[in-house]
Amino acid sequence: MELANLLESCRAGDELAWEMLVRQTQSRVFGIAMTYVRDRDEARDLSQDIFVRIYRNLDGCKDADRFLPWLVRISRNACIDHLRRRKARPPARDIPAEEALRLVAPDEAPDEEMERQARRRVVETALHSLSEINREIILLKDMQGLALEEIARLLNLPLGTVKSRSSRARLELAKAVQDLMGPAGAEATA
Amino acid sequence: MNTRCTAWEALLDAYLDGALDGSDEAFFRSHAADCDRCRDLLRLVSADLPALAVEDEAPRLADSVIAVTSGPACGRAEALLVTRPDGGLSADEALLLQAHLEHCPPCSDLARALDVALTTVRELAEPELDLAFTYDVLRATSATRARKRGGALPRLADRLGAWWQGQAARPQFPWEVAFAATVVLVLLFGTPLSPARRAPARALAAVQASPSWMIDTAGELTGVAGAGIGAVQQDVTERRNRTAPDRADFLRHVREAGTALLNGDPGAAAARLRVAGGDLMQLWRDWRGEEPDADD
Ligand SMILES: [Zn+2]
Ligand SMILES: [Zn+2]
């Protein structure tokens, strides 16, 4: 189904279309939330809130071609609001989400899977060691694949600044990964 | 390496020739004293400068040779390295970078780390989610939808929902009853405005998942299970008819509560809602053909 049609059906209140849109975008939204809050449960709750926002604002996305930047913008704003609120009032720990419903890592190829998990943890840690602005640039450019122009608009920065920040952020990230892995780790993963 | 270093380098030849005048020489000496790089460079090009020699470390000298010779090239390589993933390099730049990486271990290490970082970051863009996530979103947004449609009734449905939740949370209100009641409420009112909206999530999910299964369940609840869908539907129709007055009462009281709320009288609205709650319990009893509880 074309994205434009899907969005149109969502706006018209078609529950099935909305369900499909949620399924198609939920991992991406969750990924964005995870770059702002590292805790899985917190990021999951935050993602729920993001979808409520998306749902309320569906009328605001007229152009299917600009859906992704629109989605990222809403998600980012929600994450920033969340962090602001959290700063004001530390979160009360909820009862842990139903672990039984979790998709656990598949059992097959455990070595490969473990290595992948380790690599992800390293990069996640490296990502969170960056400054806020560099982390956001990595998120928008390298994770979400937004165009530099979109990022400039979103962050309200000149294009040239976004470009040079993107380079610096990548360099910083690579160096942080290098530090965490050590030369041997880099050899093994390459 | 900064503009002072550049200025300093410009004076280097004149210094070695002994041709620097006062202020230039003062700058030259003071910068060499402050700047490791320039001091080392000076050591490289002049054999004997005891006045400036601070310490003699061979490794640092080797480092500084690298810094002076390949250092700037590494900086350039890094700059190209981080723009390469965007495909922005010219053929020549790509070639020069590749050649540098082949000969410079630190830069090729960095290139590998960057590869790992960017590949993994793309993986992190869409982490796996548990199966219940989509359902939770749909539940949250369908509540929003009811609210979005506006009017006093949805807001009242919210409050009624809270009441319902309270009922369901009572120990003597077991999950099975909540589930059964949810089936009935869905049959009677449909979901969007249903006070069952906040009924236990699993019950509502099950009911919404399969209407035909709901009819079967209603059949079990009504004791005509196994008699075929027609019999169940007939039974449900009978019960709907039997509970019609209860439903009318319930809706009337909800509407009255809505009017009270619109008139700015939340106290009266709450009282009407409590009555509506009673209607709901009556409705449930009539649906099941029960006598009122003795202790109620
Ligand atoms: Zn210098
Ligand atoms: Zn190099």
Domains of chain A from N-terminus onward = 1-91 (1.10.1740.10), 108-190 (1.10.10.10)
The per-residue pLDDT for A147 is 92
Closest of A9, A39, A12, A33 to residue A21, by C-alpha: A9
Return the structure tokens found at B96.
């020069």
Indicate the burial class of A65 (C-beta count within 10 angstroms; 0-12, 13-18, 19 or more). exposed
Beta-carbon separation of A138 and B121 below 8 A? yes
Beta-carbon separation of A103 and B129 below 8 A? yes
The per-residue pLDDT for A158 is 93
Averaged pLDDT for residues B230-252:
71
Substitution target from B107, B122, B126 for chain A, most A beta carbons within 10 A: B126
Give me ligand 1 centre to Cα A164, in Å: 25
B178-188 burial: b if 16+ Cβ within 10 Å, else e? bbbbbbbbbbb
Cα end-to-end span (Å), chain A: 38
Give me ligand 1 centre to Cα B59, in Å: 19
The per-residue pLDDT for B261 is 61
Beta-carbon separation of B141 and A127 below 8 A? no
**Between these two residues, B167 and A144, which has the higher pLDDT value?**
A144
Residue A190's pLDDT band (cuts 50, 70, 90): very low
Whether A73 shows a pLDDT value over 90: the answer reads yes
Nearest CB to B121; choose among A44, A142, A171: A142
Separation of alpha carbons A94 and A44, rounded Å: 12
Give me ligand 1 centre to Cα B72, in Å: 14
Give me ligand 2 centre to Cα B74, in Å: 4
Averaged pLDDT for residues B152-164:
49
Ligand nearest to the CA of B68: 1
Per CB-CB distance under 8 Å, the chain B contacts of A122 are 116, 120
- The string of DSSP codes covering B96-118 is HHHHHHHH-HHHHHHHHHHHHHH
Residue A1's pLDDT band (cuts 50, 70, 90): confident
Let me know how long chain A is: 190
Residue A102's pLDDT band (cuts 50, 70, 90): very low
Closest of B87, B140, B145 to residue B118, by C-alpha: B87
Per CB-CB distance under 8 Å, the chain A contacts of B93 are none
The per-residue pLDDT for B119 is 94
Ligand nearest to the CA of B71: 2
pLDDT tens-place string over residues A60-69: 888 888 899 9
B183: closest CA of chain A, how far (Å): 20
Averaged pLDDT for residues B170-175:
44
Contacts of B294 (CB under 8 A, 6+ apart): none
Q: Please give the single-letter amino acid code of residue B68.
A: V
**Between these two residues, B76 and B196, which has the higher pLDDT value?**
B76
**Between these two residues, B171 and A128, which has the higher pLDDT value?**
A128
Give me ligand 2 centre to Cα B110, in Å: 9
Averaged pLDDT for residues A121-150:
93
Rounded (10°) CA dihedral B51, B55, B57, B58: 10
Average pLDDT, chain B: 67
Q: Predicted ipTM?
A: 0.79
Substitution target from A41, A46, A55, A59 for chain B, most B beta carbons within 10 A: A55
**Between these two residues, B140 and B264, which has the higher pLDDT value?**
B140
B138: closest CA of chain A, how far (Å): 7
Nearest CB to A52; choose among B114, B116, B140: B140
The per-residue pLDDT for B63 is 52
The per-residue pLDDT for B290 is 63
Name the residue in chain A with its Cα closest to that of B148. A56
Average pLDDT, chain A: 83
Beta-carbon separation of B148 and A28 below 8 A? no
Averaged pLDDT for residues B163-182:
49
Cα end-to-end span (Å), chain B: 87
Ligand nearest to the CA of B35: 1
Separation of alpha carbons B62 and A50, rounded Å: 55
Rounded (10°) CA dihedral B193, B199, B205, B209: -50
The per-residue pLDDT for B38 is 82
Nearest CB to B125; choose among A23, A31, A126: A31
Question: How many cross-chain Cβ pairs, A to B, lie less than 8 Å apart?
Answer: 138
Name the residue in chain B with its Cα closest to that of A23. B134
B217: closest CA of chain A, how far (Å): 24
Whether B29 shows a pLDDT value over 50: the answer reads yes
CA B72 to chain centre: 42
Whether B267 shows a pLDDT value over 80: the answer reads no
pLDDT more than 70, % of chain A: 83
Residue B34's pLDDT band (cuts 50, 70, 90): confident
Averaged pLDDT for residues B47-61:
43
Do the beta carbons of residue B123 and residue A117 sit within 8 Å?
no
The per-residue pLDDT for B97 is 92
Whether B235 shows a pLDDT value over 50: the answer reads yes
